[in-house]
Amino acid sequence: MLAIKNFYFNADLPLEDLGNGIKRKVLAYRESLMAVEVYFEKGAEGVVHSHPHEQIGYVLKGKYEFNIDGKRQLIGPGDTVYLEANVPHGVICLEEGILLDIFTPCREDFIPQK
């Protein structure tokens, strides 16, 4: 079980370079919930994948083409996308930006190793 931590200061959180124009910053998390900022360079692509977590993505900045189970949709700042567990999805960044992703349960594979 993860220790309870109430405050996560953005300036103290590491920005992980995932390569290919994508970076990730894990924000607050506990076993059942996680918030993550994902930074995209223009043209960067989150390849189609799936995972057993439900996910909500909120566009803080930029424009994106989402592919959810073969259906494509353009979204921009203020737009939100819901992703069911185990449904194939991917994204192409059309304009440099940042997504705020919320996962349930927590993506244990994203937790920074100390």
Residue 47, classed as helix, strand or coil, is strand
Task: Give the chain's domain count.
Answer: 1
Q: How far separated are the first and last CA of the chain, in Å rounded? A: 16
Q: Tell me what the mean pLDDT of segment 30-46 comes to.
A: 97
pLDDT of residue 97: 98
pLDDT of res. 11: 96
DSSP annotation string for 32-53: TEEEEEEEE-TT-EEEEE--SS
Q: Per-residue pLDDT averaged across 86-94, rounded?
A: 98
In a domain, 10, yes or no: no
Please give the mean pLDDT across all residues of the chain.
96
Residue 9 has pLDDT above 80, yes or no: yes
pLDDT of residue 114: 57
Q: Is residue 74 part of a domain?
A: yes
Q: Give a yes or no: residue 22 inside a domain.
A: no
29 lies in some domain? no
Domain containing 95 equals 35-110
Domain-located, residue 25: no
Give the mean pLDDT of 14-33. 96
Give CA–CA dist 14/18, Å, rounded: 12
Domain membership flag for residue 66: yes
**CATH number of the domain encompassing residue 48:** 2.60.120.10
Q: Considering the domain boundaries, does residue 77 fall inside one?
A: yes
User: Rounded mean pLDDT of 54-81?
Assistant: 98
Q: With a cut of 80, say whether residue 112 has pLDDT above it.
A: no
- Rounded to the nearest 10 degrees, how much is the dihedral formed by the CA atoms of 40, 45, 49, 53? 10
Structure confidence at residue 74 as a pLDDT band (50, 70, 90):
very high
* pLDDT of res. 54: 98
User: 0.85 exceeded by the pTM?
Assistant: yes
